[in-house]
């Protein structure tokens, strides 16, 4: 059972290690120096350089591609790292910072101007199952469109698949030649942005397509 807000407030006031300002934001009197890894420092610097200390993940991924930063490590830091936090699913800021809606809107506009190509990285075809690994691009995230390779078109044909995210239904795919549509709800449910790497598993027997992020390696060199 959590103590009431008033109890926490009074405790913080009596502890000399903390400062509570008029807006009830807590600060530490003597900051603890933390050594960040190379990717963590890169992400921190990108956030600091962004207006209002907030940046869209699509813009981060775009800058990472230009700088040769590992997208898998970056994705983990954006979501789970203690020094960074997500805002409204798609944005990243520093822990302890609360960007205004105006700055979030500016970050959205910068991200909307980016154009990232949807790219099939690899795929595996086996009995009753097809797994596709791809980089989600602007057309896939914003309009739900992506093109199949000839080999995938031959296997998946013009079937309609029930799209699922974490076993939750997200509509049904449609095929028009080599272009597949109706994936946008699934991508939004996951919080996918252009540049993210995802996996789509097609069950060709049950006609179900499951969408998820690619497995991420928790053993990162940058971890403190």
User: Is the pLDDT reported for residue 2 higher than 60?
Assistant: no
> Is position 194 within any domain?
yes
pLDDT reported for residue 74:
84
Is residue 123 located within the same domain as residue 209? yes
Identify whether residues 108 and 133 lie together within a single domain.
no
Q: Distance between CA atoms of 101 and 84, rounded to whole angstroms?
A: 18
Instruction: Mark which of 112, 128, 153 sits at the end of a domain.
Output: 112
Q: Which two tokens stand for residue 203?
A: 């069950």
144 confidence band (pLDDT: 50, 70, 90): confident
Question: Are residue 154 and residue 176 in the same domain, yes or no?
Answer: yes
Domain range for residue 88? 38-112
Mean pLDDT, range 81-88, rounded to an integer: 89
Q: How many domains does the chain have?
A: 2
**pLDDT given for residue 165 in this prediction:** 94
Looking at the predicted structure, is the pLDDT value of residue 1 above 60? Answer: no
What is the pLDDT averaged over residues 79-89?
A: 87
Residue 23 lies in a domain: no
* Within a domain: 32: no
CB 114 within 8 A of CB 138: yes
Among 88, 112, 136, give the residue marking a domain's end. 112
- Shared-domain flag, residues 208 and 123: yes
pLDDT of res. 216: 54
Instruction: Judge whether 53 and 94 are in contact, CB under 8 Å.
Output: yes
Tell me: the pLDDT tens digits for 15-54? Answer: 777 777 766 666 666 666 778 889 999 999 999 999 999 9
In a domain, 221, yes or no: no
Q: Where are the alpha helices (DSSP H) in the chain?
A: 5-14, 38-49, 57-67, 71-80, 101-112, 138-143, 150-156, 184-190
Tell whether 99 and 146 lie within a shared domain.
no
Q: Are residues 78 and 123 in the same domain?
A: no
Answer yes or no: is 224 within a domain: no
> Are residues 84 and 107 located together in one domain of the fold?
yes
Buried b (16+ CB within 10 A) or exposed e, 110-121: bbeebebebebe
- Answer yes or no: do 183 and 160 share one domain: yes
pLDDT at position 14 is: 76
Q: Is residue 96 part of a domain?
A: yes
- Whichever domain contains 204, its CATH number is 2.40.330.10
Q: Is residue 51 part of a domain?
A: yes
pLDDT at 224: 42
Residue 152 and residue 125 share a domain: yes
Compute the distance between CA of residue 38 and CA of residue 42 in angstroms, rounded to an integer: 6
Q: Quick: pLDDT tens for 88-134.
A: 889 999 988 999 999 999 999 998 888 888 999 999 999 899 999 99
Collect contacts of 33-40 with beta carbons under 8 A, ≥24 apart. 34/83, 34/224, 35/224, 36/83, 36/222, 36/224, 37/220, 37/221, 37/222, 37/223, 37/224, 38/222, 39/69, 39/70, 39/73, 39/74, 39/77, 39/220, 39/222, 40/77, 40/81, 40/83, 40/222
Residue for token pair 């971890």 = 223
Q: Do 102 and 188 sit in the same domain of this protein? A: no
> 100 and 128: one domain?
no
- Tens of pLDDT, residue by residue over 183-217, are 888 998 988 988 888 999 999 999 999 999 986 55
């Amino acid at each position: 059972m959590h103590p009431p807000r008033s109890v926490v407030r009074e405790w913080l006031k009596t502890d000399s290690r903390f400062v509570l300002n008029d807006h009830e934001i807590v600060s530490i009197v003597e900051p603890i120096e933390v050594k960040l890894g190379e990717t963590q420092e890169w992400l921190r610097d990108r956030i600091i350089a962004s207006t209002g200390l907030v940046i869209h993940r699509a813009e981060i991924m775009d800058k990472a591609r230009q700088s040769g930063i590992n997208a898998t490590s970056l994705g983990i830091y954006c979501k789970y790292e203690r020094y960074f936090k997500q805002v409204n699913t798609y944005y990243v800021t520093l822990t302890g910072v609360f960007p205004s809606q105006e700055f979030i809107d500016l970050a959205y506009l910068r991200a909307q101007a980016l154009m990232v190509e949807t790219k099939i990285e690899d795929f595996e075809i086996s009995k009753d199952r097809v797994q596709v690994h791809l980089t989600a691009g602007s057309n896939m995230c914003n309009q739900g469109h992506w093109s199949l390779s000839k080999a995938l078109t031959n296997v998946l044909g013009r079937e309609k698949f029930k799209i699922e995210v974490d076993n939750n239904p997200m509509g049904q795919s449609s095929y028009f030649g080599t272009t597949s549509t109706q994936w946008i709800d699934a991508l939004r449910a996951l919080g996918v942005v252009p540049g993210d790497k995802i996996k789509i598993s097609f069950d060709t027997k049950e006609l179900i397509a499951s969408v998820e992020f690619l497995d991420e390696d928790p053993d990162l060199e940058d971890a403190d």
